[in-house]
């Protein structure tokens, strides 16, 4: 009887140690992987639960976007360009990383008609973006946001749909701060 009790304890201790080792192993590697990918910082919460995650490991950022948008192939094959598009409307989000120094004055060259100064700062969650809206000239303009990503330029543009106006729809405008607030760097 003593032998059976002792062997049962040894067996139980081995199982417990094995389980503990497995938990530590999974926990350590899981945490290291999450830190390496940055994905732990990009988890949806609050109003963005159910949104998809875009992670750019090369440039060290991630953001969330609504599931109604789908990532599509870029027809212009511009390096660093990601296109998210809605199939039910003519709305697209363009995310572009430019390996150029972040310089507010340089954006004036690409500003919509009527702008002759750098874009305005716009807070979005923990981030500050710089914004150009519709310009003059009677044509449609995407809402353009610039972000200083480690001294380089991250450009996010919300293009359409345009409903009897030269600026994106109210629905797109309501989406902009939610998406921009989800941007995280790692």
CATH number at residue 48: 3.40.1000.10
Whether residues 106 and 132 share a domain: the answer is: yes
69 touches 87 (CB < 8 A)? no
The count of domains in the chain is 2
Residue 21 confidence (pLDDT) above 50: no
102, 111, 110: which is closest to 129 by C-alpha?
102
Neighbours of 19 (CB within 10 A): 10
86, 78, 73: which is closest to 179 by C-alpha?
86
CA Rg, the chain, in Å? 24
Q: Report the pLDDT value the prediction gives residue 74, as an integer from 0 to 100.
A: 72
Whether residues 99 and 151 share a domain: the answer is: yes
Residue 139, classified by CB atoms within 10 Å of its CB into exposed (0-12), middle (13-18) or buried (19+), is exposed
Whether residues 26 and 59 share a domain: the answer is: no
Whether residues 8 and 78 share a domain: the answer is: no
Residue 5 confidence (pLDDT) above 60: no
Whether residues 157 and 110 share a domain: the answer is: yes
Give pLDDT tens digits for 130-171.
999 877 777 788 999 999 999 999 999 999 988 888 889 999
Q: At 181, which helix (H) or strand (E)?
A: helix 170-181
Whether residues 32 and 87 share a domain: the answer is: no
Whether residues 55 and 4 share a domain: the answer is: no
Q: Report the pLDDT value the prediction gives residue 101, as an integer from 0 to 100.
A: 94
Whether residues 158 and 99 share a domain: the answer is: yes
Give pLDDT tens digits for 52-108.
999 999 999 999 999 999 999 876 667 678 999 998 888 999 999 999 999 999 999
Give the Cα separation of 1 and 56 in Å (integer): 62
Whether residues 19 and 50 share a domain: the answer is: no
Whether residues 17 and 51 share a domain: the answer is: no
Give the predicted TM-score (pTM) of the model. Answer: 0.74
Domain that holds residue 51: 43-185
Residue bearing the bigger pLDDT, 18 or 41:
41
Whether residues 19 and 90 share a domain: the answer is: no
Residue bearing the bigger pLDDT, 33 or 43:
43
Average pLDDT over residues 110-139: 86
Answer left, alpha or beta for residue 136, where phi above 0 means left and psi between -120 and 50 means alpha. beta
């Amino acid at each position: 009887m003593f032998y059976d009790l002792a062997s049962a304890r040894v067996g139980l201790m081995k199982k417990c140690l094995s389980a503990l080792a497995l938990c530590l192993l999974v926990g350590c590697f899981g945490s290291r992987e999450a830190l390496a990918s940055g994905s732990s910082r990009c988890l949806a919460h609050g109003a963005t639960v159910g949104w998809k995650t875009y992670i750019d490991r090369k440039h060290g950022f991630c953001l969330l976007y609504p599931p109604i948008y789908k990532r599509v192939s870029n027809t212009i094959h511009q390096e660093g360009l990601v296109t998210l598009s809605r199939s039910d409307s003519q709305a697209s989000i363009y995310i572009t990383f430019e390996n150029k120094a972040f310089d507010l004055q340089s954006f004036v060259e690409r500003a919509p008609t009527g702008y002759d100064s750098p874009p305005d700062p716009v807070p979005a969650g923990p981030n500050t973006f710089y914004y150009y809206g519709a310009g003059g000239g009677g044509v449609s303009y995407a809402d353009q946001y610039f972000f200083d990503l480690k001294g380089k330029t991250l450009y996010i543009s919300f293009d359409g749909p345009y409903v009897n106006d030269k600026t994106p729809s109210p629905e797109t405008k309501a989406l902009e701060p939610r998406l921009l607030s989800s941007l995280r760097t790692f």
